[in-house]
Amino acid sequence: MRITDLKTTFLVVPLEKALLNVTKTRATLQLILTRVETDQGVTGHGYTYTDGYGGHATKALLDTDIVDLVRGRDPRDVKAITASVLWEIRHAGFGGITSLAVAALDLALWDIFSQSVGLPLTRLLGAFTDRIPMYASIAGWSGLPIQEQVARAQELVGKGISGIKVQIARAPLEMDVLRLKSLREALGPGPKLFVDANTVMSVPQAIALGRRIQEFDIFWMEEPIAVRDLEGHRTIATQVGIPLATGEQLFSPRDCEEYIKRRLVSYMQADVLRVGGICEWLHIAALADGFNLKMSPHFVMEVHTQLLCTIPNPQFVEYIPWLQAYFREPIGVENGYAVARQAPGLGLEFDAKAIEMFRIG
């Protein structure tokens, strides 16, 4: 089997305006869909995304350089192809657009591999389980009024969701305290509460806020400060009694390695599309397991569900179902759990109506 072509499609998908805040100025996702074609008629589908910017450059890298690097190769040699493409384009950068583009290729290759052997990805990689508990981020956007956050949270918890994540540090400290107090009182002691600052705080701010909200039994504090401030994370961890989590803004296994080896966080949230695909993500998961850390990745629930089922150290799938309606075969959701796909292939082909609705190139 040989790769004959790699084709891409560019979509812009609108998101709810409640997301607009200091860390997001455009309420859209830019999606680059990939279709890898072979001489035996097996087709692989993958995708990657950006938070509103950079999608055109990512698509261009796939359409020009990357397609030339993979044409004629056996798509089942997934690890070799992913590694060689990352090496060949390294001088364009070790993360960002390069890793996003390679991830879209990597997923499509795994899709072909899975189909060619007739096994779902979880069986191909070796399954530990077939479902993973979820927590939800869609109730806690800072742009939502407290009453709406509480109503959304109650509805999600009523469906079995394990907990609710709340954006913090966009409002005065006392407002964040009030929101978390309201949620804890409304939900009771059982459901978990998570907080996410998206890197906008300083170390003193994170310590002050963390100390004020400890009483609400916060499961983790996510991205309190800039991801490059490793010593700042250590300082916060020693001053605040809340476990730390990070990873969504890291773009390679090397970026994650320092956090894991130095035990600066308790939960690693590496995003499979931002770190370069399944091959690279599995390196991170294995390293985290060696240091007794749990994986609880960012977004991309349709892929992360399948991956978390194949590792010994999963924690949660992040329930953000923005794209679920657009896949021809969306991931299963049952009683607060994300259920892994049981058919061959990754199930990442987009519905034709969605492509027609959102396509711009």
Supply the DSSP string of 202-256, one letter for each residue.
-HHHHHHHHHHHGGG-EEEEE--S-TT-HHHHHHHHHH-SS-EEE-TT--SHHHH
Q: Is residue 345 in a domain?
A: no
Continuous segment of H or E residues that includes residue 338: strand 337-339
For the chain, state the CA radius of gyration.
20
Q: Is residue 296 in a domain?
A: yes
Q: Which residue in 35, 40, 116, 55 sits closest to 350, CA to CA? A: 35
At residue 329, what is the residue type? E
155 shares a domain with 88: no
Structure tokens of 325? 């309606």
Q: Which residue in 88, 80, 38 sits closest to 61, CA to CA? A: 88
* E-assigned strand segments in 2-118: 3-14, 28-38, 43-50
Q: Is residue 115 in a domain?
A: yes
Number of folded domains in the chain? 2
Q: Is residue 157 in a domain?
A: yes
Q: Which residue in 115, 116, 109 sits closest to 80, CA to CA? A: 109
272 shares a domain with 209: yes
Q: Which residue in 290, 289, 230, 297 sits closest to 265, CA to CA? A: 230
93 shares a domain with 201: no
184 shares a domain with 218: yes
Q: Is residue 344 in a domain?
A: no
39 shares a domain with 185: no
By residue range, what is the domain housing residue 54? Answer: 3-119+351-358
298 shares a domain with 151: yes
258 shares a domain with 235: yes
178 shares a domain with 284: yes
Continuous segment of H or E residues that includes residue 332: strand 332-334
330-359: buried (b, 16+ CB within 10 Å) or exposed (e) per residue? bbebeebbbbbbeebbbbbbbeeebeeebe
323 shares a domain with 179: yes
77 shares a domain with 92: yes
189 by Cβ neighbours in 10 Å (0-12 / 13-18 / 19+) ranks as exposed
Q: Is residue 109 in a domain?
A: yes
The residues near 243 (Cβ < 8 Å, ≥ 6 apart) are 219, 220, 221, 265, 266, 267
83 shares a domain with 155: no
Are the C-beta atoms of residues 301 and 278 closer than 8 Å to each other? no
Domain of 136, CATH number, reads: 3.20.20.120
Structure tokens of 342? 């049981």
**Residues counted in the chain:** 361
Residue in the block written with tokens 């709406």 = 148
Per-residue pLDDT of the chain (361 residues; tens, 9 = 90+): 999 999 999 999 999 887 888 777 888 999 999 999 999 999 999 999 999 899 999 999 999 999 999 999 999 999 999 999 999 999 999 899 999 999 999 999 999 999 999 999 999 999 999 999 999 999 999 999 999 999 999 999 999 999 999 999 999 999 999 999 999 999 999 999 999 999 999 999 999 999 999 999 999 999 999 999 999 999 999 999 999 999 999 999 999 999 999 999 999 999 999 999 999 999 999 999 999 999 999 999 999 999 999 999 999 999 999 999 999 999 999 999 999 999 999 999 999 999 999 999 7
Domain of 36, CATH number, reads: 3.30.390.10
221 shares a domain with 160: yes
How much is the pLDDT for 19? 83
* Strand 317-319 with 131-136, pairing: parallel
Structure tokens of 339? 């259920």
Using CA atoms, how far apart are residues 100 and 62, in angstroms rounded to an integer?
Answer: 10
Supply the pTM of this predicted model. Answer: 0.96
Q: Is residue 288 in a domain?
A: yes
How much is the pLDDT for 18? 79
How much is the pLDDT for 24? 78
Q: Is residue 284 in a domain?
A: yes
